[in-house]
Amino acid sequence: MKSKSLKIRISERRLHKLQLYAVNPDKTMTQVIEELIDTLPNITNVHSSSTNISD
pLDDT higher than 60, residue 21: yes
Averaged pLDDT for residues 24-32: 91
Could you tell me the residue ranges of all domains in the chain?
Answer: 13-37
* pLDDT grade for 44, boundaries at 50, 70 and 90: confident
pLDDT value at position 38?
96
pLDDT higher than 70, residue 55: no
pLDDT higher than 90, residue 47: no
3-class secondary-structure state, position 48? coil
**Residue 17 identity:** K
First-to-last C-alpha distance (Å) of the chain: 6
